[in-house]
Structure 1
Amino acid sequence: MNKDQGREAPNRSLANSPKVDEAMSALLAEARLAARWSDLSPDVRAAHHRILRAYVEDGAPPNISEFPCGIGAELSQRDLVHIRDGKIALAYPFSTAVTDFTVRSTGVEMHAVCAIDALGVAAMIQRETEVSCLCPICRTPMALTVAADGLTITNATDPTARVWTGVMEVGSCAADSQCTSMRMFCSPEHLEVWRSDRPGMRGFDLTLEEGVQLGAEIFRAFLREAAEPGPEAIDT
């Protein structure tokens, strides 16, 4: 991985779980990292940051027409931002449409693409966040608070909840493929019910703590500026 590619690429030093390390290796192959981050121009990087900050500050993305021609197409090609019907539909970890994964921070409500995305927001913005997810089996809401360090869970309504991280062919858009299998379940039993309908699905059964670690490793560097030695809070 070249130096430029590493600025926003995942930080593999945050987790203390071998299972998280294994999941990271399965999810983010070197070729996929290169396709996302290699030779990212300053203009494209700045546009990506601006879009992410808009979600965090306003709960919604800016209008794609505000950016120079071609920026949106490159971000889409890199599977960082996707534009549908002339509007920004998602910019990982955020979704413009309402999802089962809600994040709240400093009074702003945001929706995440999947459970791992929601769990990684605190690490990315370096702010305490409240995460709420719906169990896909019983639709029970589960809530937890992730501290500003992005790794510490300070409160969880369902401490035995499980986070399933599926591994599948990504294609051109992870949100339409891999992310559909990244869910939070209110209990190990409901995870098994869900998995029983998907025999042969490869993936990782994670605790809440492991899910937060995985989210932090993936997203912590997404808002890192080129000149910074490490990720900083979004409002600094």
Structure 2
Amino acid sequence: MSHYLLVHGAWEESRAWEDVTPVLEQSGHRVTALDLPGHGANMQPIADMNMGNYIKTVIDAINDIGEPVVLVAHSMSGSVVSQVAEQVPEKIERLIYVAAFLLETGGTVLEAMQSDSGEFLPSIIFSEDGSYATLPEETLRNAGFHDVSEQVIQRFLPLIVEKQSTEPFMSPVAMTAEKFGTVKKTYIRTTIDRVTTPDLQDRMIENWKVEQVHNLVSGHFPAFSVPQKLAELML
């Protein structure tokens, strides 16, 4: 059996995985869902919500677990786990990207979003100094939660972080074929996604060798809309 380490995306927190975790556990796996700095139970100042601290938090969690993990990323955290895998490839059994940013070396999440035709980026509200961004509820509903039931939306809306640091979106990633490239990868492609559109996901899948690609009829938050199906694809 494997130990799954689940990493949430931007504006999210560890409880975003709470409907996925039981399915993995029922299959006999161990599961840890962590909060990145500035999210959930790990609240930090905006300045500490940066890529370096995100990466360190994940590596620390892997070291605490003490065995190789299946490292799962949603959305923005794809850029985080890729760089974790570059630093500790021997500690990762497999990487799973859930509608997540699988970038080329030197790329940024923001550049990938700017290259996309989705309706999400233009709706984000940036602070005057550009240090953080907020998501209007209307944007979440229209771009992110369009296939999520109202009952589930009401459960997860309170978990959304008000202010998301922009630094991780603008931080270039750095990976090599010799390290990151050796880690097995699975991509779960969300086919009705309005945040990372299928076209953007297809382009990112081409950036690196991906052993498995699964199509999932879901918007950007399959952990909310179809958690059972998502978990089954992660097994």
Same fold (TM over 0.5): no
Question: Larger % of helix: which?
Answer: 2
Question: Larger % of strand: which?
Answer: 1
TM-score normalised by the chain length of structure 2:
0.30
